[in-house]
Structure 1
Amino acid sequence: MRILVLGGTAFLSAEIARQAVAAGHDVTCLARGSSANPPDGVTWVRGDRAAGAAAFTGVGGGWDEVVDVSRDPVQARVALDVLGPAAAHWTFVSSCSVYADASVPGADETAALLEPLPEGQAGTPDTYGESKSAIEQMTLATVGAKAHIVRSGLIGGPGDGTDRYGYWPARFAANTDTVLVPDIPDDATQIIDVRDLAAWILQSAEEGLTGTYNALGDVVRFEDYIAESRRAAETAVGDGAAQDVIRPDEDWLVRHGVDYWAGPDSLPLWLPADHDGFQARTNQAARERGMVLRPWQETLMATLEDEKQRGLERDRKAGLSRDTEQRLVALWRLEER
């Protein structure tokens, strides 16, 4: 197949390109290359999609498969207009952030969506879900009969730049200081390995699969994930792994300024109470259409190995800084006396 990946330099799009080359496909990546180069073996067309239709000047047409991971509706519209008519199959990687209600566990692809951004409005980080919803809508309107809409959840595995899934195994492996863990043992986590997601996207393109699917991992209890993170750290660093844990309740964490989910001074994978379904949607439809998931413990171990290579004590995009964590541990112990 002749495959065009709009991107190909970061995480998921790079993994799709890498696997496609390994499978013997003719792969082209349209990318700026400002942060990284596409994988070896692809044809690299340098282009900045902010330039509009001019970015596609050297791309050509007649693609068997186009993969777009865009979060900007303006850029997605241009790609659909320029490439859509001649593309045989079109994959848009959307997100489960398009859903309007995150409170219901087990919800499927028929759940209500957020109102899409108005046509012509560029996306921002604050309108991520609405942006993806808008791109879904325009994709279906433009290339609907050949569109595969992939609603991914949290993507983990080697190369994850968000620092969320890897925070906990890396934290236990980093040093022996006390680890602050939210007291949410039964909360759901739901991560899909980037390698499994890329493999299913490529398989679906080869088979011509169309329709909209939740591409998610299986649900894992937060406490099971934490316990496995501790075991992985002990395997990786032995006696250097942290053993002491405190578990403040959620109200205490909120009172002391700890943030949910991601970003500085956050506890990754911890969500507000009205988000019980955010990491607990069904993946049954995608599984029935061939999506195969490796054991989540394997993803966690691979993530920790990647964390070790990148530096366990590096500055992170998500999680508590060491100073903040030590301050909170001291406060908790003082208040518990």
Structure 2
Amino acid sequence: MSTVGGKRLGRPGTQVDPKAGAPALPKELSGKSWLVADAESGDVLASHNAHWQLPPASTLKMLFADTLLPKMPKTKTHKVQLSDLEGMGEGSSLVGVKENYTYSVHDLWLGVFLRSGNDAVHVLSAMNGGVPATVSEMQAHAKHLNARDTHVVTPDGYDEKGQVSSAYDLTLFARSGLQKADFREYCSTATAQFPGTFEKGKKKRSSFGIQNTNRLLTGFGIEPYKGIAGVKNGNTTNAGATFTGVAQRGSRVLLVTVMNPQHQEANEVYKETARLFDWGFKAAGSVNPVGTLVRPGAAGANHPSAGGEDGRKHAQASVSTGNGGSGGAWTAVGIAGGSVALLGAVAFGVHRRWPLPELMRRRSRD
């Protein structure tokens, strides 16, 4: 396995370095791979097969969003053509985009984040120059983030041969995406209204309610997790259930990724995520980090934990300087401080209590 983020993250099995009195890890963890990290410092508190390359399912949409969100204003509109919807995998999750109807970019991102709509992903990809161009940009952005376990084949995460990521890389995608206000808004939205059709005899277009498929956010079938504020779930035949979440308790913000739990219980990926959040909030300060979430670009590629000279050269050579890369955003929020929580509403001021879940969990809107 890769050693990006530290040598221990390249070792198989569970990695944790408790101090005296630290709480024990939960016993009922069956994920093939998982990771718990402090979102601000980037410290990895514990992991299990952090760099295993596994199918990501729709958690790959975090990379899709992080790559494309800066490129299109949310007010931009697009009339959907039949060709925009071609190439979706059989049984894809859909939000209900219709041919010959016009949607705003804002509408489409709600469809991506709330309903994991592959139809919305394909329309946004068409607006971005097509699926091949979008996949290429996603791969370049993954390399810019030093996410070396990831190979992108589809923009929506649908099962395809060779499409893989890792718990480590998915956590990098979430951390990068959460730098963006729009990303935070969409991933924390619990319910919304989505444009429907023009009903016969009526001039006004109908709409219908959609609910976020992140069950720790909405509480559908499981208790909502206190302090949850995103990020993205997924489920396919090859990937099983996957999930990356961000939550806050007090002043601490944690990221947890769980991939493919082997226990066949309902909502198991959310249950294991919740257990790891609980452990992480209790353990913070009582465990030594076993690794770190490296920074994007050359700053991360040159970090002592980036995997050696060959790895640093590889990552530096693949840094994206355009096509919506987020390098500028990271610099603007003071990446030298290593904090994901510094993006303020005005002049990028410090806002250490981000995200405030009470405010982040937006409800339905027209």
Tell me the TM-score normalized by structure 1: 0.27
- Bigger fraction of residues in helix: 1
TM-score of the superposed pair, with normalisation by structure 2: 0.25
Larger radius of gyration: 1
